[in-house]
Amino acid sequence: MDERTTDNQAPRILVVDDNAMNRDLLVRRLARQGFAMDTASGGLEALEKVAKNSYDLVLLDINMPDLDGISVLSQVRETKDQSELPIIMVSARDASDSIAEAINKGANDYITKPVDFPVAQARIRTQLDVLQTHKKLKESEERYALAFRGANDGLWDWDIQNGRVYFSQRWKDMLGYGQEEFGNQPDDWFNLVHPEEVERLKLAVENHLLGQSDALEHEYRALHKDGTFRWLLTRGVASRGADGQAVRLSGSQTDVTRTKAYDPITSIPNKFLFMDRLEWLLDKERRKRRGRYAVLLIHIDRLDELRQTLGPVAGEEIIINAAYRLIDSLRVEDSVSRLFEAEATTVSRHDEADFAVLAEGCRDESTAPKIAERLRQAITKPMEVAGENLVLTASMGIVAGAMEEGLDATEVIAHAASALSRARRKGPGNYELFDKHMQQRAIARLKMETDLRRAVADGQLALHYQPIVKLDSGEIAGCEALARWRHPERGNIPPAEFIPLAEETGLIDLIGDWVLEEACTQHQKWSDGRADKVDLSVNFSLLQMQRDGVEDRVMDILNKTGMDPRRLKIEITESIFMEDMDRIKGILSALNDEGIGIAIDDYGTGYSSLSYLKRLPITHLKIDRSFIGDVSSDIAAQAIVQSTLLMAQSLGIEVVAEGIETIDQEALLKVLKAEYGQGYHFWRPISGDDFAALLTRPAHP
């Protein structure tokens, strides 16, 4: 009759009711069903009995004069929860409010008066079944806990009915959490599971709860408190009530990260082993605080594309080939690799198309780029896959680290990843070295770029003009326009800082046009009504000269402002002669044909060559101020200045000495017969208005 055969003792039920007739009725009928019965005639007596004896279930009347059923329930629940002692409330049929309250306070179920006996019996049996399951589970759990005490497993126990999960301390340890740091909800667990794997885990749990699997056994990654993912294996079994419904799910959890140390495709170490190795290295070495290492993240470019055209099998073959090439190129036995000056290397597969290399014991900072170069050579050798001849390229992010920096593995990898993404932005086959200030600089640059765009529109750019003096007479022959940026927060930013930025960002066209137009407009104001017109020099950067149709742009601006082309000189640096000579010659000749002068700026610092001076329409040379600075003290500098002057004379080119700062320099240059001078000794760059005022004054001494 009683199905709960495992329990040879009859279940003990306490009936609590102040009405003797109700009490006796229940006791008699339930006793006939084989239950061991006891009674209490009021709330207080019930509490006493529950405290003293052990019952399997309580039938508790709600309305009682001394202490009502709800109060009894609340007090019992302070020491015994629903799974330890089921309590079924007995109430009047229309007392739904108190029933709701009782359920909230921990009643397991209820029956109404007059009691429908078969219903009551069914409810009692259900509760006793659940209780029985809990008891058994608890025993096995204790056995289980015993068996695994000191072992590596963590335990968990999920009460499906109340939705709470008990996680053992060992379980929490595996993910780096202390006793109090972890909740008891299923989501506290699932939230740590790798986003790509959480749905699969939930599905496995659900399937098992629905009885579709004999046991839960699932591997997944979960986030450790230290920010790395660990591989965990979780096993569990559900306990079910008589109806087959799962009431509890409990099991163990093991950290299996170690067993996951190798990539299944290439058989080389995976990310976990790599990180482990790196952690170990940094840890051990950190104590010693010296030595160098390198970490390289290597991304095989276009792998997805190749996989799509050649198929997944070829995709795998590419990965395997790439892996072995990386390893081979780093083999220490081969004599060439001694070049890279590292003691040991680890190559791992880090992600789908990404490998990582760790080189320990590097000789110096240059080792990392040397390794990168070797790896690049290895990867780019032609490779035959699926009958196709391929040439792979790889992008790399490199960290050349020193132990004393005290970084941990996660930081190092993050740095390598940021260098890699920078490299990839430059296009396939590039590599980038991470340095500490890279990020700060990148951010600062980005801000400056935004500011520079605004600067043009907001009129923050201005021109200053530095007079150019005829040395023998001291009169002002012209001036050079120099760009200035009055930044609202940072003050004046020198052109050496923002012109290169403008070039990199393409803003140079806009800025160059503005400079030329502004300078020409200014020149028109100075020249109004004057017979002795001055020359105007404007700097052009290499990129500006390479712009398509630069001749037309210049002429457009001259026409628009009414500037006389014969008064304009364009200053370019020697770097321009590294470019396509025919094209440059075409551009310079077109400008010169209009009467525009062409000056070589900073002469002597770059690729000075006589041949281009002869081949191109150069009208002026500006000797770099580094030679002028030394001219009165250094014989060699003097010789260079002198020979430049002689050569220029013979070619009919006029010379400007830049950066004259002292009266000695001026005197000497006069002796050497330099024609023009420019420098702080005469004037610093000044505003357009100040320059206009100068023109009306008597000449410099």
In whole angstroms, what is the distance from residue 149 CA to residue 138 CA? 16
Binding mask 23-52 for ligand C2E (x = CB under 6 A): ------------------------------
Nearer to ligand C2E, 427 or 494 (CB): 494
Among the residue ranges 159-167, 435-443, 522-530, 533-541, the one whose residues contact ligand C2E (CB under 6 A)? 533-541
Provide the minimum distance between the beta carbon of 577 and Mg ion in the complex, in angstroms, as a whole number. 16
Residue 499 interacts with which of Mg ion, ligand C2E, none, CB < 5 to 8 Å by class = ligand C2E
- The encoded tokens of residue 50 equal 């529950």
Angle at 575 between CA 570 and CA 578, to 5 degrees: 120
Closest contact distance (angstroms) between CB of 602 and ligand C2E is: 5
Task: Give residues 260-289 in contact with ligand C2E (rule: CB under 6 A).
Answer: none
Residues paired with 112 in a beta bridge: 91
Q: Is 389 helix (H, G, I), strand (E, B) or coil?
A: strand
Residue with tokens 């690799």: 337
Helix locations, 385-507, DSSP H:
409-425, 438-458, 495-505
CB nearer to ligand C2E: pick between 222 and 640: 640
Q: What single letter denotes the amino acid at residue 156?
A: W
| Pairing status of strand 476-487 against strand 491-493 | antiparallel
Whichever of 156 and 485 has its CB closer to ligand C2E, that residue is 485
Q: Which residues contact 468 (CB under 8 A, 6 or more apart)?
A: 476, 477, 478, 479, 480, 535, 537, 656, 676, 677, 678
Asked if 517 touches ligand C2E (CB under 6 A), the answer is no
* Cβ closest to ligand C2E, residue 270 vs residue 539: 539
| DSSP letter (8 states) at residue 419 | H
Residue 109 found at the interface with ligand C2E (CB under 6 A):
no
In the complex, what is the shortest distance from the CB of residue 590 to ligand C2E, in angstroms, rounded to a whole number?
Answer: 19
Residues present in the chain in total? 701
Q: Using CB under 6 A, count the residues that bind ligand C2E.
A: 22
DSSP 8-state class, residue 7: -
User: Quick check: 539 binds Mg ion (CB under 5 A)?
Assistant: yes
In angstroms, give the least distance from the CB of 489 to ligand C2E.
20
Task: Name the segment binding Mg ion (CB under 5 A); options: 100-108, 427-435, 527-535, 596-604.
Answer: 596-604
Question: Binding of ligand C2E at residue 483 (CB under 6 A)?
Answer: yes
Please tell me the distance from the alpha carbon of residue 486 to that of residue 490, in angstroms, as a whole number.
Answer: 8
Provide the minimum distance between the beta carbon of 268 and ligand C2E in the complex, in angstroms, as a whole number: 51
CB nearer to ligand C2E: pick between 62 and 502: 502
601 makes contact with Mg ion (CB under 5 A): yes
Would you call 221 helix, strand, or coil by DSSP? strand
Between 284 and 684, CB nearer to ligand C2E: 684
Q: How far is CA 429 from the centre of its chain?
A: 21
Burial-class residue 347 by CB neighbours within 10 Å (0-12, 13-18, 19+).
buried
Distance, CA of 668 to CA of 632 (rounded, Å): 7
Closest CA to 571 of 607, 614, 535, 609: 535
> Which residues, including other chains, have CB under 8 Å from residue 413's CB and lie 6 or more apart?
275, 278, 295, 297, 356
Q: Quick check: helix, strand or coil at residue 429?
A: coil
Per CB under 6 A, the list member of 255, 601, 654, 666 interacting with ligand C2E is 601
Stretch that binds Mg ion, among 37-45, 142-150, 363-371, 658-666 (CB under 5 A): 658-666
Interacting residue with ligand C2E among 679, 688, 691, 694 (CB under 6 A): 679
Q: Is 665 in the site for ligand C2E (CB under 6 A)?
A: no
Interface with ligand C2E, residue 680, by CB under 6 A: yes
Contact segment (CB under 5 A) with Mg ion among 172-180, 303-311, 483-491, 650-658 equals 650-658
Three-state DSSP at 504 gives helix
Rounded to 10 deg, the angle between the 508-527 and 550-561 helix axes is 30
Site string for ligand C2E, 445-474 (x = CB under 6 A): ---------------------x--------
3-state percent breakdown (helix, strand, coil) of the chain, nearest 5: 45, 25, 30
Look up residue 117 and give its two tokens: 């006996």
Q: Which is nearer to Mg ion, 281 or 660 (CB)?
A: 660
Q: Which amino acid is at 7?
A: D
Binding segment toward ligand C2E, per CB under 6 A, in 95-103, 230-238, 430-438, 494-502: 494-502
Residue 250 has φ and ψ, to the nearest 5°, of: -140, 155
Figure out which of the listed residues 301, 535, 602, 666 binds ligand C2E, where binding follows CB under 6 A.
602
Residues forming a β-bridge with 622: 656
- Taking CB under 6 A as the criterion, the residue among 251, 269, 478, 659 binding ligand C2E is 659
Q: Which of 11, 69, 685, 688 binds ligand C2E (CB under 6 A)?
A: 685
> Angle at the Cα of 698 (from 697 to 701), degrees rounded to 5?
130
Residue of the chain from 451, 571, 666, 675 that contacts Mg ion (CB under 5 A): 571
From the CB of 593, what's the least distance to ligand C2E, in Å? 22
Q: How open is the CA angle 25-28-30, to the nearest 5 degrees? A: 105
Give the sheet arrangement for strand 292-300, strand by strand.
344-351, 354-360, 292-300, 394-402, 431-434
Q: How far is the CB of 618 from ligand C2E (least distance, A)?
A: 16
- Piece in contact with ligand C2E (CB under 6 A), picked from 195-203, 234-242, 358-366, 655-663: 655-663
Candidate segments 301-309, 330-338, 441-449, 655-663, binder of Mg ion by CB under 5 A: 655-663
Window of 256-264, 317-325, 635-643, 654-662 that interacts with ligand C2E by CB under 6 A: 654-662
Beta bridge mates, 109: 88
Looking at residue 687, the DSSP 8-state letter turns out to be: -
Minimum gap (Å) between residue 466 Cβ and ligand C2E: 6
Measured torsion, CA atoms of residues 509, 512, 516, 521, in degrees rounded to the nearest 10 = 90
Q: Which stretch, 169-177, 213-221, 223-231, 658-666, contacts ligand C2E (CB under 6 A)?
A: 658-666
Characterize the bridge pairing of strands 491-493 and 154-159. unpaired
Pick 109 or 601: Cβ nearer Mg ion: 601
Question: Residue 390 and residue 388: Cα distance in Å, rounded?
Answer: 6
Positions in 625-644 near ligand C2E (CB under 6 A): 625
Q: Which does 479 bind (CB under 5 to 8 A by kind): ligand C2E, Mg ion, none?
A: none
User: Which residues of the chain form contacts with Mg ion (CB under 5 A)?
Assistant: 539, 571, 601-602, 658
User: Which residues of the chain form contacts with ligand C2E (CB under 6 A)?
Assistant: 466, 482-483, 494-496, 499, 515, 539-541, 571, 601-602, 625, 659-661, 678-680, 685
